[in-house]
Every structure is written in structure tokens, then in C-alpha cells.
Amino acid sequence: MNIYKYKFPLVCPVNKLKINYKLKIISKETIMVELIASQINSISEYLHEDLADAFFAKFGGVQVLTAHHHGIDIKTIRGEE
């Protein structure tokens, strides 16, 4: 089992504020870290839940995406544990 963790900022498409995200991918497959970084660096604005869907479609596995936005903690889980 491989576990990849990545922290990154994105801009909220609704109010243009910066949001700090944490992505965790658990996969039986090897994922090139450069692919994870380039996928994230190609995004400028995304809604949290749509972002989780996009990452899951690209990388599969089990994924947890967390962020803190306007005083609310958001956590999405994609895939089966």
C-alpha cells in the first residue's frame, strides 16, 4: 500500500479567498509524485467536492481531501476503505 500526502493552496471560485488543502491518496498502485504535483498545479479554482471528484477520477485508490474554509472544516472521502 502506498500513501501520498500533499498540501496546497487554491482560490475559492465563489469569493476568491485562498484555501489551504490537504490531499491524502492511498493506493495499491505507484503514482508518480510529479503527476500529482502537476495535476494540482494546473488548477487555479475549484469547488471542494468537484476537486475531490476530479482527483479520484485521475488517481483512484482511497482519497481524503480536507480544507478549512470560512470557519468550516470540509472533508471528502472518495473510494472504498
4 burial via Cβ count (<10 Å: 0-12, 13-18, 19+)? middle
pLDDT in tens, the chain (81 residues): 999 999 999 988 999 988 999 999 999 999 999 999 999 988 878 899 999 999 999 999 999 999 998 889 999 999 975
Kindly list the domain boundaries of the chain, sorted by start residue: 2-78
Helix (H, G, I), strand (E, B) or coil at 53: helix
Per-residue pLDDT, 64: 98
pTM of the model: 0.90
Instruction: Residue 77: name the closest of 68, 64, 66 by CA.
Output: 64
